[in-house]
Each structure stands twice: as structure tokens, then as C-alpha cells.
Amino acid sequence: MMELQPGGIRDEEVDILLDDLLSLYGYDFTNYSRASLKRRIANLFTIDRFPSFAEFRYRLRMDHEYLLRFVQQVTVNVTEMFRDPPFYKTLRTEILPLLAARPVIRIWHAGCSTGEEVFSVAILLKEAGLLHKSLLYATDLNPGVLEKLRRGIFPMAQMRQYSENYNASGGKSDLSKYYTAQYDWAKFDESLSARMIVSTHNLVSDSSFNEFQLIICRNVLIYFDKELQNKVLNLFDQSLETLGFLALGSKETLKFSSIAPMYKQLENREKIWRKKE
Amino acid sequence: MEEKRIDNVQLLLIGGSAGSLEVILEVLPNLPTNLSIPVVIILHRKNFNDLLLIDLLSIKLSLPVKEAEEKEMIRPGIVYIAPADYHLLVEKDKTFSLDDSERVNYSRPSIDVTFESAADVYGPTILALLLSGASADGTEGLKAVKQNGGVCVVQDPAWAEVGYMPQQAIRHVAIDKVVNNNELKELVRSLKKE
């Protein structure tokens, strides 16, 4: 049996890899939460059966394909549709009605991974009759996960859970209305993806690229240290209209950041903040 | 287990699955009221309300009980609960971080993930306790605790409501002590006080 131990990689070795990634490729992981990153690097080292750290490092330095694998494996790409249904219920009942009068609704899903949450929001917009005038910008640093998002095909095995989430979020019909089952896969309706703009964007190093009424970035900040969290929250602040909304993951907060005084959390304590006038 | 090693303990870790909540509620009221180390509990639970769990423990314990929050400093005398649906990790500066990556041993939070990352930081000053459960979670974590010089204690499978989890640990790790519930109470009573 394979043993996965964080002891497989030492802290100094993590530092060496992070230096390489930054100097050779411009990927900056130095302000990521170290415990999770170290664990994932150690797991990858074990799974890919490198005989030594030196060979691991060499491969990462020399093989561009392996770089993509490395980045995708050490970042967390777990996501689901309608995760935390009360959050989606709040989007449905409180946020979308406030955006409805806009001629164009711009939403940024930052760190969207394979896009299950982007499709979830597209479904909310469709049910609110707003999808036709909405633009959903979906960004992530991994090109690989964005490829999956573009296809809009998700494992059929998860649809039962997603349907329960959808119903709990106040879904108006049946989730299955939005996809076609093909063997083990569910292919989502192209009318949903038609309003998505998909692009790589690195929250650590890339800048603001538009102004939005809603920015959704859930379970991304937990992987950053406080300094980087603050930097990214400032990037969101620059990218958000006055009276726009910022939505974070269920264990994330902007309470301790420098932008906190300019924002007000929703009354129902969901992790959604509105930018003050 | 020599007194000396217990005196060295700077962090108490508790991992439990099926049948462990009752043990926790029975044993932890014996923690000294002026405990001078932090306690971190990783409990598998299905659809069990987090606030209810914290309330339940708060009623039974005289120590403050709270959910571990990301980037929070780990402070002595506080009982922390790993939040549902996230892995809980320990950073080098003795703060918590959260991770919503894949389940480990079908579990999130996983006992292994927390134990391994805590072992990396607290080394020989950990006392890790594994209780009742039907999962194989915890065994790899105890291995890491042991490798880093910490103390590993498991609940006697005969006393556990579900003996599988402690049994797995006993089979694969050189456990320092296998304890029944009464010995467990003694042990937590003897933890370092202010």
C-alpha cells in the first residue's frame, strides 16, 4: 500500500521548489498557506514515484507538461454545484433582484476551478430571467480546469447530490432540465455556457481587468496567508462597483482586511458583503 | 507512560468517529479547569449541526469551546472543534488553516490530515488520542505523531462502541498506551495546569 506522509518532503525542499516555480515560470506560491501546500506537494512526490527530491526538482524544472500537472495537483480544485444551498438561496432572493434593473450584469467567478459554481449561478440567472443580459467571467490559474469548464460536462454520479443542493437552494424546476445524460456524464445546456467568458487569471500576480456588480470567490482565500488575502481582497475592491457584492466561502471573512471598513455584511450573516457608497 | 512525557505535552489532539461523541462528553469534563495547553478535536459527523456540537460540549466543559477558524492563533486552555466539511491543518506559526481538498478516508475533516500537520509543528510535544470509530482514519496520523516523537494513546477497542478505528491503529502503530474510559479520565485529569 502506498503511504502518504508529509515527512516525504522537507520544508527547505518546498522552499526550493517554490523558488524554481517563481524564477522559471512566474508562478508565485510563496504566500500560500504552507501546511496544505506542503501536504499536496508531498502527496504528488509519492504518487508520481520519484526516487529522490533531486529528480522531482529536475522534472519540474525541465518538463513544461509536468509543470502544468504540478500546478494543477498542488492547488485544490474541489468544487460542487450549489454548495451551501442557503448561500445560493440568498443570491436568488436578495442579490439578483437588486441587480435585475441593470442593463448588463457582470459577475466574476475568481478561482472558479472546473466551473460547477459558475453553472450554478448561470442557472439562477436563467430562472430569474436575467441570463440573456449577464456576463459570467470565469477565471482560474489552471488552464486544465478551465478546459473542463468549457466543455460543461460533469460526472453523472454527482448529479443526485447536486439535485438535492439545487432543490434546497430554492430551485424552481428540476436540475435535470439543464443537462443531457450521456452514459456517465451530464452535459450542461449550451445556453448556460453561452454567457460565460473563460480565461486564465492568477490572483497573485494579475491585475484587475473589469468592473463587476458581483464577485464570487469561494474557498480560495483559505489557501492564502493573511498578507496575500489582503492583497487579493484589494484587487476585488478595485474590480467591484460601488454597491456591488463580494461573496466568499463559508469559513472566509473580510473582517480583518484593510477593505473591511468599506463593506457591510448581509443581515442574514451569509458570507456576502456589499460595497458601501 | 512516564509522568515526564505527559508534563511535556503542549497540544492534545483527539480523533473520533462513530461512537466517540459519547466518550468525549464523558471524559473531557475531567480536563483541569486551568488547563495550560490547547485541545483540538477532529470528529467525523454526518449532518450533525456544528453549533449544536459546540453547545453540547460547552455545557459539559468549564473550558471555552469553539470552532477552529482559519488563521486563528492556537491558544492554551481552549477546546477547538474542526469545522465540518473542511480539513483542519496547523501552520508553523501555530495558527490553524483550512483546506477543502478531497476527502481522506472518506472523511472531511480527516483525522490523518490534522494529526500529520500538527506532528510536523508540535513534534514530540503532542499527545494524540484516537477513539471509537468504523473508519481507518487516524492510523496514518498516529504514525506521523509517533515518528515525530509524540505520545499515542488509543481507546481500548473492547470499550469502544465501534472498535475498528482503534484496532487499526493498534495493528499498524506502536501505540504508547491502550486505555479504558476510566484510565482516559485519569489521563486528561493529569494534563498540565497553569
Active site residue B17: yes
Question: CA of B87: which chain A residue's CA is closest?
Answer: A36
CB-CB neighbors (< 8 A) of B97 in chain A: 33, 35-36, 222
Q: Is residue B46 part of a domain?
A: yes
Share of chain A above pLDDT 70, in %: 97
Q: What is the DSSP letter of A91?
A: I
Residue A15, pLDDT score: 97
φ and ψ at residue B132, rounded to 5 degrees: -50, 145
Considering the domain A85-275 in this protein, what is its CATH number? Answer: 3.40.50.150
ipTM above 0.90, yes or no: yes
Q: Give A40: exposed, middle or buried? Use CB within 10 Å, 0-12, 13-18, 19+.
A: buried
pLDDT for the residue A217 = 98
Average of pLDDT values for A215-233? 97
Q: What is the pLDDT of residue B7?
A: 85
What is the pLDDT at residue B3?
65
Select the residue of A36, A249, A251 nearest B89 (Cβ to Cβ).
Answer: A36
Burial group, residue B75, by CB count within 10 angstroms (0-12, 13-18, 19+): exposed
Given B107, B112, B117, B137, which residue is catalytic?
B137
Residue ranges for chain B with pLDDT beneath 70: 1-4, 47
Question: Which residues partner with B40 through β-bridges?
Answer: B13, B80
The predicted pLDDT at position B4 comes to: 64
> What is the structure's pLDDT at A223?
97
Interface of B with A (CB under 8 A): 69-71, 83, 86-87, 89-92, 97-102, 113, 116-117, 120-121, 140, 143-144, 147
In this complex, how many residue pairs, one in chain A and one in chain B, have their CB atoms less than 8 Å apart? 66
Residue ranges of chain A that CATH labels 3.40.50.150: 85-275
The CATH number for B35's domain is 3.40.50.180
CA distance B41 to chain A (A): 18
Q: Judge contact between B23 and B132, C-beta under 8 A.
A: yes
| pLDDT score at B138 | 98
Does any domain span residue B184?
Answer: yes
Mean pLDDT along residues A101-128? 98
Residue B137 a catalytic site member: yes
> Cα separation of B84 and B187, whole Å?
27
Q: Is B44 known to be catalytic? A: yes
Please name every residue paired with A60 in a beta bridge, in sequence order, or none if there are none: none
Cβ A219–B100 below 8 Å, yes or no? Answer: yes
**A6, pLDDT greater than 60:** no
**Residue A73: C-alpha distances to residues A9, A41, A117, A177, A274 (Å):** 15, 8, 20, 33, 34
Q: Is the residue at B194 inside a domain?
A: no
Structural domain including B137 reads: 3-189
Q: What is the dihedral of CA B43, A10, A225, A214, to 10 degrees?
A: -80
Q: Do B101 and A7 touch (CB under 8 A)?
A: no
Which among B44, B112, B117, B135 is annotated as catalytic?
A: B44
CB pair distance less than 8 Å for B99 and A5? no
Q: How many domains does chain B have?
A: 1
| Contact call for residues A187 and A152 (beta carbons, < 8 A) | yes
Which of A2, A15, A32, A33 has the highest number of chain B CBs within 10 A, making it the mutation to test binding with B? A33
State pLDDT tens for residues A29-74. Answer: 999 999 999 999 999 999 999 999 999 999 999 999 999 999 999 9
Contacts of A38 in chain B (CB under 8 A): 120
User: What's the confidence (pLDDT) of residue B46?
Assistant: 76
Which residue out of B50, B71, B108, B168 would a mutagenesis test of the A interface target, given it has the greatest number of A Cβ atoms within 10 Å?
A: B71
pLDDT at A235 over 50: yes
Give the DSSP H or E segment for B40: strand B39-43
